[in-house]
Structure 1
Amino acid sequence: MHVPDGFLDAPTSVATGVVAAAAVGISLRKARAELDDRTAPMAGLVAAFVFAAQMINFPVGAGTSGHLMGGVLAAVLVGPWTAILCLSVVLLVQGLFMADGGVTALGTNITLIAIVTTVVGWAVFRGLRAVLPRRTAVVAPAAVVAALVSVPAAAAVFTLLFAVGGTAPVETGDVLVAMLGWHVAIGIGEAAITGLVLGAVIAVRPDLVHGARDLVSQRPLEIRKAGA
């Protein structure tokens, strides 16, 4: 999903850069409400994990590979606003120091990977949480579905951007079919990683998971007798 330099024309790249800058600016203010002294270190851990996990590619067929995007995973762990910041930092480091995605395409990559996957995934996650039983056991499955949806959503937005400002001589319909086809497969891998990581964290420290915090606070206290 990392878009290289020159794949979209200058006006489109500038427009996505403005969107990315605005989203990061808003997230800087909104993230204060998501983090406290106990959970703030989680943001650094999430950014480090996503950075490392994106270095690992898994095959999806026909010589194509995918990697974790991390929007839903980060949003459920530390909140959607903080997730946008975490992924933006990861993409900035990758673009500047690892040539993973272009520098002029940084705004596009932040828009697709940090913003679209997080916003769409968080909306799906919250929608499922609203209709599912209020138990911590539903958090990971809801995140799995959200992660699966978020990746093709980002691919669809990329296709829209390509239709507006793509520089390659390829029909938009062909781009849409290819992007959605491969990214559904990549979404399955994204969903699996998201479910495994969240399931492990919730089993040990559900109170540190932003998407489960309201459920943990409602748990009844267990009172044990001395010597029990």
Structure 2
Amino acid sequence: MHVPDGFINAPVSAATGVVAVAAVAVSLRGARRELAGSGAGLSLGAERTAPLAGLVAAFIFAVQMLNFPVAAGTSGHLLGGALAAILVGPYTGILCVSVVLLMQGLLFADGGLTALGVNITNMALVTVVVAYAVFRGLVKLLPRGRRSITVAAFLGALLSVPAAALGFTLMYALGGTTDVSLGKVAGAMVGVHVLIGIGEAAITAATVGAVIAVRPDLVYGARGLHTPLKLRVDGELVDAAAPAPEPVAARSPRKFWLTGLAASLLLAGVVSFYASAHPDGLEKVAADKGFDKKAEEHDIADSPLAEYGISGIDNTRLSGGLAGVIGVGGTVLVGSGIFWAVRKRRGQDTGPADTAGATQREAA
């Protein structure tokens, strides 16, 4: 759903740019708390939480290269807002998707530069807000357990994609550069993105479920998932004493991080070659309704990495694979650097006294 330059006029693009900047600014503050962690064993420090958030951004970049067929001549790909929000928190999730969109726009000519605000507002802000609101609401209603987290992740992701389609439709209504019927655009966008949402939901639920199975302590949306053991004393059920927390050093996420990075490189460098070549939902709707003619050439269309290939390499598989590996590597480095700076700033803001107080509260 990457919007190119030319679909939305300059005033609306500028307005969404302001919205995107405000969302990123608020997210930077919120991400400090999310990256700091809460509860026993979760405050891993900037050197650990930042790379984990960077890994989530890199994984989303990799999976977005895997277009899957959803209808005749149409494909879809992961948006990633739901996945990021559930794994690392909504504020950090917005930053993760924003980093991905920035890397795609600046290196791979994917998504217009003047439309960057449109894309961040739609693909990062809307998807995260809708997905996480649905997710948290369902978690409160469903029985406490890992299965409930997975079900809530599936439904949150499912609804986030048509919500983003409606977001684009609203932007088109306010600043579309063609006279195509709004009703036709809305119907086509929502219809195809409901199908894409099923794929998004399946990928999100499978990924969240897999992470919970091996490292539930690293899933933001699963914090507080543990249900206290009940003991019957004098005919009444009482909470058993909580087990002593496992030392943080014994639960280093390094192995998890390396496994996740290897999976991301494999997906982007090898599996992406087998992705569907059909246009994605927005491209298909634009072509069918005739407003694709308003798309403008990307400002860096002559970039060596444009269109996820490396200029000068004739072998399509090698070119695309190397571009994917570069994208994953660049995203994890840029994302980890940003999140490390955010997390470090949190530590400076809290100070030793606040950190000691937080430790005492967790111990209590």
TM range (shorter): over 0.9
Q: 1:131 matched to which residue of 2?
A: 141
Question: What's the offset of the Cα at 1:218?
Answer: 5.3
Cα distance, 1:181 vs structure 2: 0.4
Asked if residue 181 in structure 1 is aligned to residue 173 in structure 2, the reply is: no
Of structures 1 and 2, the larger Rg is shown by 2
2:24 is equivalent to residue 24 of structure 1: yes
State how far apart, in whole Å, the 2-side matches of 1:19 and 1:68 are. 23
Of structures 1 and 2, the one scoring higher in RCO (CA 8 A, sep 6+) is 2
CA distance in 2 between partners of 1:169 and 1:63 (Å): 25
User: What's 2:181 paired with?
Assistant: 171
Question: Which residue of 2 is the match for residue 96 of structure 1?
Answer: 106
Which secondary structure state, in structure 2, belongs to the residue aligned with residue 215 of structure 1? coil
Residues 130-180 of structure 1, C-alpha deviation per residue, up to 9 Å, x if partnerless? 111122221111000000000000101110110110012311000000000
Query: 2 CA distance for matches of 1:47 and 1:101?
Result: 17
**Cα-to-partner distance string for 1:9-60 (whole Å, 9 max, x where unaligned):** 0000000000000000010111010013243322011000001111110011
Amino acid at match of 1:160: L
Report what 2:213 is aligned to. 203
Identity %: 66
In the other structure, the counterpart of 1:193 is 203
> Gaps (5+ residues) in structure 1?
223-228
Q: Is the 8 A contact 1:206 1:216 kept in 2?
A: no
Contact conserved, 2:158 with 2:197, CA < 8 A, in 1? Answer: yes
2:130 is the counterpart of 1:120: yes
Question: Number of aligned pairs?
Answer: 222
* CA gap 1:55/1:218 in 2 versus in 1, 3 angstroms: farther
Unaligned runs of 5+ in 2: 37-44, 230-241, 245-364
**Letter of the 1:128 counterpart:** L
Distance (Å, rounded) in 2 between the aligned partners of 1:196 and 1:81: 22
The aligned residue for residue 63 of structure 1 is 73
Could you tell me the TM-score, scaled by structure 1's length? 0.94
Partners of 2:62 and 2:181 in 1: how far apart? 34
Contact 2:144/2:227 (8 A) holds in 1 = no
- Kept in 2, the 8 Å contact 1:129–1:142? The answer is yes
CA contact 1:144–1:192 (8 Å) conserved in 2: yes
Specify whether residues 218 and 40 from structure 1 end up closer, same or farther in structure 2 by C-alpha distance, changes over 3 A only. farther
Partner Cα distance (1:78, 1:41) in 2: 11
- Output the CA distance in 1 between the equivalents of 2:15 and 2:227: 42
Match of 1:147 in 2: 157
1:43·1:86 contact (CA, 8 Å) conserved in 2?
yes
8 Å CA contact 1:30–1:81 kept in 2: the answer is yes
